Amino acid sequence: MFKISKRSFTQKLVKTALGVAAFSTLTAFADEPFKIGLILPMTGQAASTGKQVEAGVRLYMAQNSGKIAGRNVELIVKDDTGLPDVTKRIAQEMVVNDKVDVLAGFGLTPLALATAPIATQSKTPLVVMAAATSSITLASPYIIRTSFALPQAAVTMGDWAAKNGIKKAVTLVSDYGPGIDAEKFFRERLLLNGGQIMEAMRVPLRNADFAPFLQKVRDLKPEALFVFVPSGQGTQVMKQFAERGLDKTGIKLIGTGDVTDDDLLNGIGDVSLGMVTSHHYSVTHKSAVNQKFVEAFEKANNKMRPNFMAVAGYDGTRVIYEALKATKGKAGGDALLAAMKGQIFESPRGPMFIDAQTRDVVHNMYIRKVEKINGEYFNTEFETIKDVKDPGKTQ
């Protein structure tokens, strides 16, 4: 009857074996997890940033399928304690040993800057979810930012101050990248509008004591004191402002939203009432997307309030997931990076865009005022400046 020659049978076997081999090559990619290496300060002075960013990342992952384009997404989280050498070493280990597809996190500017060369050398996209000095995105063509750039907030505040009759101001900033950006861009806008900076004060980033500086502010009697300190340090500035009695002098306290951090505001209390700041996110931002985000975040984190760091972690994870979808799971640094550029979507902060040219975030800036609502303290947004690009890069 039907007879199969030995030769053709062998050929068939070989073909089948080749077919299996080819198929397994195809599926090998899909079997490998897609790895995100998240490096954050989980201990030390910037620990609250690490906690918020991680919670934002985990929430996005929990709300979205663990499998993108057939690949499982794996998150590796490491604590850099806020020290640049440690961040860099961890990033190197993650790229070489863990073979991560994306590096993410970066709680402070020096931590992002120290790691930038590793992203460039290994062609690994690096998603900055916290640090905010304007120049960070220039440190590597593989950097994408989902947090914000300090000049966006400082320019907005400078314009608002001038429009609201403030002519003489003192600036008080943390003495490193974002503080220097804040000081420079606030000053520029105030001067442009006919105002004057009476004194520019810089406070050390580590173990900051604001008291002697605030005493000097009291003596100078400006119309306003403009402040930038990184997330987590706002409580101390505000408390010392009140302890020195500056809240009774009529000196208006203004700043970037880092100072009236949503996460800290209830702990700061009455001293913060009425403080006007500029920023890209408030927990009370009025939108359906934000309401859903806040409810889910508080539920997943034992009622912890999300702040702007949590939102940047959440949005950054979205940018990574969508890039992986767009490349159909193939990853590869350059393809992923290309798919991250130009993403446009609605974030809990409002509309958001990753500018393909600068790889930096473009979003609305809001002017907000601290108010007490049902016994809790909030930054209430009352003015919107739409689609603000980093002024640090357009000059």
Q: Could you give the C-alpha distances from 257 to 70, 95, 134, 366, in angstroms and in order?
A: 40, 34, 16, 9
Please give the Cα distance from 273 to 102 (Å, whole number): 41
Site for ligand DHB contains 347 (CB under 6 A): no
Q: Which of 335, 313, 357, 318 is nearest to 104 (CA)?
A: 313
Query: Which C-beta is closer to ligand DHB: that of 108 or that of 116?
Result: 108
Q: Which stretch binds ligand DHB (CB under 6 A): 130-138, 235-243, 315-323, 354-362?
A: 130-138
Site for ligand DHB contains 282 (CB under 6 A): no
Q: Which stretch binds ligand DHB (CB under 6 A): 72-80, 131-139, 277-285, 315-323?
A: 131-139
Site for ligand DHB contains 278 (CB under 6 A): no
Please tell me the total number of residues recorded for the chain in this structure: 395
Please give the Cα distance from 27 to 96 (Å, whole number): 23
Q: Which residue is nearest to ligand DHB (CB)?
A: 230
Query: Which C-beta is closer to ligand DHB: that of 153 or that of 354?
Result: 153
Which of 68, 75, 131, 271 is in the footprint of ligand DHB by CB under 6 A?
131
Q: Which residues pair with 276 in a beta bridge?
A: 254, 369
Task: For the CB of residue 25, give the shortest distance to ligand DHB in the complex, in Å.
Answer: 43
Site for ligand DHB contains 231 (CB under 6 A): yes
Task: Give residues with Cβ within 8 angstroms of 286, minimum separation 6.
Answer: 381
Query: Which C-beta is closer to ligand DHB: that of 151 or that of 348?
Result: 151
Query: Which C-beta is closer to ligand DHB: that of 41 or that of 348?
Result: 41
Query: Which C-beta is closer to ligand DHB: that of 125 or that of 255?
Result: 255
State whether the Cα torsion 128-130-131-137 is positive or negative.
positive
Query: Which C-beta is closer to ligand DHB: that of 173 or that of 190?
Result: 173
Please give the Cα distance from 270 to 113 (Å, whole number): 37
For residue 382, how far is the Cα from the chain centroid? 23
Q: What is the DSSP letter of 232?
A: T
Site for ligand DHB contains 230 (CB under 6 A): yes
- Annotate 23-92 with DSSP letters as a single string: HHHHHHHHHSPEEEEEEE--SSTTHHHHHHHHHHHHHHHHHS-SEETTEEEEEEEEE-TT-HHHHHHHHH
Task: For the CB of residue 232, give the shortest distance to ligand DHB in the complex, in Å.
Answer: 6
Task: For the CB of residue 145, give the shortest distance to ligand DHB in the complex, in Å.
Answer: 10
Residue the block writes with tokens 């503080």: 179
Task: For the CB of residue 120, give the shortest distance to ligand DHB in the complex, in Å.
Answer: 20
Query: Which C-beta is closer to ligand DHB: that of 203 or that of 323?
Result: 203
- How many CA atoms lie less than 13 Å away from 279 in the CB half-sphere? 35
Q: Which stretch binds ligand DHB (CB under 6 A): 73-81, 125-133, 240-248, 270-278?
A: 125-133
Q: Which residues pair with 354 in a beta bridge?
A: 361
Site for ligand DHB contains 277 (CB under 6 A): no
Q: Amino acid identity, residue 113? A: L
Task: For the CB of residue 271, give the shortest distance to ligand DHB in the complex, in Å.
Answer: 19
Site for ligand DHB contains 259 (CB under 6 A): no
Please give the Cα distance from 195 to 192 (Å, whole number): 7
- The 3-state DSSP class for residue 172 equals strand
Residue numbers 167-186 binding ligand DHB by CB under 6 A: 177-178
Residue numbers 30-59 binding ligand DHB by CB under 6 A: 49
Site for ligand DHB contains 258 (CB under 6 A): yes
Task: For the CB of residue 231, give the shortest distance to ligand DHB in the complex, in Å.
Answer: 3
Q: How many residues in the shown chain lie near ligand DHB by CB under 6 A? A: 12
Helices 333-340 and 308-326 cross at an angle (nearest 10°) of 120
Query: Which C-beta is closer to ligand DHB: that of 160 or that of 308?
Result: 308
Task: For the CB of residue 207, give the shortest distance to ligand DHB in the complex, in Å.
Answer: 16
Q: Which stretch binds ligand DHB (CB under 6 A): 79-87, 127-135, 312-320, 381-389?
A: 127-135
Please give the Cα distance from 119 to 131 (Å, whole number): 16
Site for ligand DHB contains 109 (CB under 6 A): yes
Residue the block writes with tokens 């193939």: 330
**List of residues contacting ligand DHB (CB under 6 A):** 49, 108-109, 130-133, 177-178, 230-231, 258
